[in-house]
């Protein structure tokens, strides 16, 4: 575990040297949502491959770039893409970027994702404020020896997604004229899409949207004391909701279609944080 801690600190030192000032906010941009970085001023971009120890994304819709710049007077670090458990990475690798940003001094993180709509009222393009999550990945990023320098052995998860930030997001959405639904996100392993029977089960469990990311990052962020906000872009009805197969290209197309509303919402939120 000490070797992992040392790698996180090495990466944090590299980031401090390159960017000098710790970002006020970090944002992880999900599939097809990377266009948000174009709204940043004085942006400095580097490929994940150029950052020491940083895991590289290999999924379509994830550019694999760290972009640091300014949004409405706030210093922002945007991760255009993430790595996933289903790619074969362990969860320590999946959450490495969050740990490094926390080590740099980031106190607030916004986690975004593309998700399937379980709630029958959700249409493609709906933006959903994550009120909570259900972790069905089959593991937890904190499994194994705990390094107290990161956080406590048994971190509280009563309020993973900050109530304060959720209230800010609701006010920002109203000001920006962007409809914002609310719901519970369920994280599954993937990479196959879910079966209709699984979706019915998830609906019974209380889930409103389903995806293959975010929960591990949120857990690690809370482990390190960060304040977390989560937003899902509902890109498709989940399996069985409509009599048609799920296709990743359609997920990407819907994400591109709502990028204007998504960007306006994020900018309004950042300004209020």
pLDDT in tens, 102-142: 999 999 999 999 999 999 999 999 999 999 999 999 999 99
Between helices 259-272 and 163-176, what is the axis angle to 10°? Answer: 120
Q: What is the Cβ-side half-sphere exposure of residue 215, based on CA atoms within 13 angstroms?
A: 23
CB of 226 closer than 8 Å to CB of 107: yes
* Residue 234 burial (10 A CB sphere; 0-12, 13-18, 19+): buried
Gap between the Cα atoms of 232 and 184, Å rounded: 10
Break the chain into its structural domains and give their ranges.
2-272
Q: Beta partners for 168?
A: none
Q: Does residue 169 carry a pLDDT above 50? A: yes
Q: What is the Cβ-side half-sphere exposure of residue 102, based on CA atoms within 13 angstroms?
A: 24
pLDDT in tens, 55-77: 887 654 446 899 999 999 999 99
Architecture of domain 2-272: 3-Layer(aba) Sandwich (3.40)
- Taking the alpha carbons at both ends of the chain, their separation in whole angstroms is 33
């Amino acid at each position: 575990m000490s070797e992992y801690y040392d790698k996180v600190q090495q990466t944090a030192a590299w980031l401090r040297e390159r960017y000098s000032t710790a970002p006020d906010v970090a944002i992880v941009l999900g599939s097809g949502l990377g266009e948000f970085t174009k709204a940043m001023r004085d942006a400095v971009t580097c490929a994940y491959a150029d950052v020491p120890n940083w895991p590289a994304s290999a999924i379509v819709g994830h550019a694999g770039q760290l972009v640091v710049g300014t949004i409405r007077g706030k210093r922002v670090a945007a991760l255009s893409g993430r790595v996933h458990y289903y790619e074969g990475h362990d969860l320590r690798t999946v959450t490495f970027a969050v740990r490094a940003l926390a080590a740099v001094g980031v106190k607030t993180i916004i986690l975004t994702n593309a998700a399937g709509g379980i709630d029958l009222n959700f249409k493609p393009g709906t933006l959903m404020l994550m009120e909570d999550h259900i972790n069905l990945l089959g593991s937890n990023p904190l499994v194994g020896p705990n390094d107290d320098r990161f956080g406590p052995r048994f971190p509280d998860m009563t309020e993973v997604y900050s109530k304060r930030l959720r209230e800010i997001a609701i006010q920002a959405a109203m000001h920006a004229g962007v409809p914002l639904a609310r719901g519970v996100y369920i994280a599954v392993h993937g990479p196959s899409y879910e079966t209709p029977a699984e979706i019915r089960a998830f609906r019974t469990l209380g889930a409103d949207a389903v995806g293959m990311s975010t929960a591990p990052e949120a857990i690690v962020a809370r482990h390190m004391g960060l304040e977390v906000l989560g937003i899902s872009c509902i890109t498709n009805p989940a399996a069985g909701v409509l009599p048609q197969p799920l296709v990743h290209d359609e997920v990407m197309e819907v994400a591109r279609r709502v990028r204007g509303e998504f960007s306006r919402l994020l900018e309004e939120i950042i300004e209020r944080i």
